[in-house]
Amino acid sequence: MGRVVLLVMAAAMIARVLTASVPAAAQDEDLLGDALGSVDSLEVAPVPPELEGAFVSLSEGDYASAAVELGALVAVDTANTGAMRLLASAYAKLEAYTQAIQVCRMLAAIDSADAGVRAALGHFHQRQGDFQLAEMYYRQALELDKDLLQAYQGLGWIYLQRKELERSLGMVTRTTERAPDYGPNYILMGRALTAQGFYESAMRAYERAFLLSPELRERYGILLQELAIRHELGR
């Protein structure tokens, strides 16, 4: 119960200190793990009536209010996994990764076979820059679910950061085998190929990403433009 009380207090503190709502997406310059986007493994469907208010707050971008409301629910019912999942998502939107990790550890204690929670723990540690723990949790997730795309993508971005480019592309391949039309995977491919010096192949990867997921162009189109300019590649 003490841990839950601390989470509620943390949510209230975050709500007080934030002067503006945190954008749903990470900053453009933070490309590590960025293609992972929202933590899909923590989604709750369908939404129970007692969580509808918090769910609306999350949908409207009022993450701090959602965190306070969900924290209060978890304090009353420490077995409410739906509230915990949404609370972890709210903390993630607030970039309060330490609190998100605490909530996910509570979820993992309730259900040790939940691969999505393991992947979420990997994602949050990755966002904190702790790649060793992130890799450990992603691998645990894959032991539970060998088809979990988020884990392959997370590992791919970690290997890219470490400049283990072949291993990064290996995660791209594993993702492609399972979801050939998953657009963000081709952003990761493009980054790894660029680092290897295969600029034309990288350009084709980015173009594939934008074809499959046009919304990615707004954030990652600059990568394609830089390739064309710096290496005099035709479009």
In the listed set 128, 153, 172, which residue is the last one of a domain according to the structure?
172
Is 120 within 8 Å of 104 (Cβ atoms)? yes
Considering the domain architecture, whether residues 192 and 111 belong to the same structural domain is answered as no
Residue 29: exposure state from Cβ atoms within 10 A (0-12, 13-18, ≥19): exposed
Containing structural domain, residue 235? 180-235
Q: How far apart are CA 174 and CA 98, in angstroms?
A: 30
Same domain, 21 and 96: yes
93 lies in the same domain as 162: yes
* CATH number of the domain within which 83 lies: 1.25.40.10
Domain identity same for 91 and 199:
no
Cα of first residue to Cα of last residue in the chain, in angstroms, is 59
State whether 46 and 136 are in the same domain: yes
Residues 83 and 185 in one domain: no
Indicate the DSSP class of residue 30: -
Same domain, 94 and 121: yes
Residue matched to tokens 């949510």: 11
* Residue-level pLDDT, tens digit, the chain, 235 residues: 455 545 545 444 444 333 233 322 333 334 444 444 445 556 666 888 889 999 999 999 999 999 999 999 999 999 999 999 999 999 999 999 999 999 999 999 999 999 999 999 999 999 999 999 999 999 999 999 999 999 999 999 999 999 999 999 999 999 999 999 999 999 999 999 999 999 999 999 999 999 999 999 999 999 999 998 887 765 5
Residues 69 and 145 in one domain: yes
- 194 and 164 share one domain: no
pLDDT at 27: 30
Number of domains in the chain: 2
Considering the domain architecture, whether residues 123 and 167 belong to the same structural domain is answered as: yes
Same domain, 64 and 27: yes
Structure tokens at 154: 């997370």
Claim to verify: residue 21 and residue 135 sit in the same structural domain: yes
**Cβ partners under 8 Å of residue 220, min gap 6:** 187, 206, 209, 210
Query: Which tokens go with 224?
Result: 């394609």
Q: Give the sign of the dihedral formed by CA 60, CA 63, CA 69, CA 70.
A: positive
CA angle, 159 then 87 then 19, to 5°:
90
Cα 186 to the center of its chain, rounded Å: 16
